[in-house]
Amino acid sequence: MSTTPPVLAAELAQAWADIQRHHSELPDLAAPESLIGESSSACGAELSFERLLHEAVHGIAAARGVRDTSRAGRYHNRRFLAIAEELGLDHPEEPHASSGFSLVTLNAEAKRRYRPTIERLQRALKAHTVATAADTKRSFRGPAARHGSSGGGVRVKAVCDCGRNVRVVPSVLAQAPIVCGGCGKPFRIPETVGAAS
């Protein structure tokens, strides 16, 4: 099994499609590679199927027009919890003081339903971890290394040719292009463009 980020992104996309088979209103995952290397304490720092299902809750909330978080996305409210329960996620009775109901866990039924998906994704994540742990200081890490990002969730502004911008973790952008739906050109970090000129 290849351990490159595009392969892991493909596995994440397949796992997302498996969730969509049970929840048809879930929108497509536009950039699976955006989850690789991204950390969010409110949504779970470690990439796993449980984290992917958590992100799917946000996707369904967006599709329904439901505001499921507050405090800049850190506090997950009871509307988030209601959708999480629909998807097979449970939470302790009391919300966390700063993140609300964000720390959800797979219930037994969801573990059974998604067992093959969970196992396949765990294998891909393990292979990816082994491959990235084997990197040496001589490995080229791309723009993320030049901007000093550890991939820990610090987002910077990336722009495209038509002037649109997104906030992205530099290490995620270094792994594979994120393409603008308006002009079809890849987003890039302006400092990288200026340094190259």
- pTM, entire model: 0.65
Structure tokens at 50: 């449980």
φ, ψ (nearest 5 deg) of residue 93: -55, -50
What's the rounded Cα separation, in Å, for the pair 49 and 105?
10
Range among 67-76, 109-118, 146-155, 170-179 rated most confident:
109-118
* Cα 122 to the center of its chain, rounded Å: 15
For the segment 53-111, what is each residue's pLDDT rounded down to a tens digit?
A: 999 999 999 999 999 999 888 899 999 999 999 999 999 788 988 899 998 999 999 99
Q: What is the pLDDT of residue 76?
A: 94
Structure tokens at 108: 């037994």
